[in-house]
Structure 1
Amino acid sequence: MNIYVGNLSYRMNDKELEEVFTKFGAVKSAKVIMDRETGKSKGFGFIEMEDSAAGTKAIEALNGNENEGRTLRVNEAQPRAEKPRRQF
């Protein structure tokens, strides 16, 4: 199960994000999204859980909870919408 995590602390890294979710089950991957230009966190990331039941439990437990002074937004990740290519 893929999970979107929004409103992360800008200091959080992949390992710290993974640690938050390992309490609920096995984590396949944890990725904090970084800005290409600055190398700084964009304040959101994605978690891939081994088990859907563990993912659902993590979403229910963490959504709306505070982490490092920020209220997390946690929900099932949606596939990226196709955007038309920009023409110059």
Structure 2
Amino acid sequence: MSTKVYVGNLSWNTTDDNLRNAFSTYGQILDSIVMRDRDTGRSRGFGFVTFSSGSEAQSAIASLNEQELDGRRIKVNLANARGSGGGGGGEMIFTWRSDLLS
């Protein structure tokens, strides 16, 4: 099963290819992307790398977290999964606390 890794604190100059090359030593990469501002095209300072397996992703995290890439010390960890629909929409549960009424 594929596993996505978050890469933060990227240099404004880091490209998709730089990101892929830095992580390719640790396994088969299915996708790599530096997130960019849709209006300016400028890097937003973070990106994602998708590995073909969880063990490859864990190896990359262990080896590259807090290491330097393009002059910046990057943060590398598992990406947080977003639910379908892109956000919000979680179930809210309310509980009654009678002790607050006294």
Same fold, TM-score > 0.5, yes or no? yes
* RMSD over equivalenced CA pairs, Å: 1.3
Asked if 1 retains the 8 angstrom alpha-carbon contact of 2:13 and 2:70, the reply is no
Q: How does 1:31-70 map to 2 (within 5 A)?
A: 31-70=33-72
Name the residue aligned to 2:19.
Answer: 17
Q: TM-score, normalised by structure 1?
A: 0.89
Return the alpha-carbon distance in structure 2 between the equivalents of residues 68 and 35 of structure 1.
19
Offset at residue 80 of structure 1 (A)? 3.2
Q: How many residues align?
A: 84
Match of 2:22, SS state, is helix
Deviations 1:58-83 (A, max 9, x none): 00100011112211000000023723
Name the residue aligned to 2:76.
Answer: 74
Match of 2:10, SS state, is coil
The percent identity for this pair of structures is 37
The 4+ residue runs of structure 1 with deviation greater than 4 A are: none
Amino acid at match of 2:67: N
Contiguous gaps of at least 5 residues in structure 2: 90-102
Q: Quick one: higher RCO (CA 8 Å, sep 6+), 1 or 2?
A: 1
Are positions 1:83 and 2:88 aligned together? yes
Amino acid at match of 2:35: I
Name the residue aligned to 2:98.
Answer: none
Offset at residue 48 of structure 1 (A)? 0.3
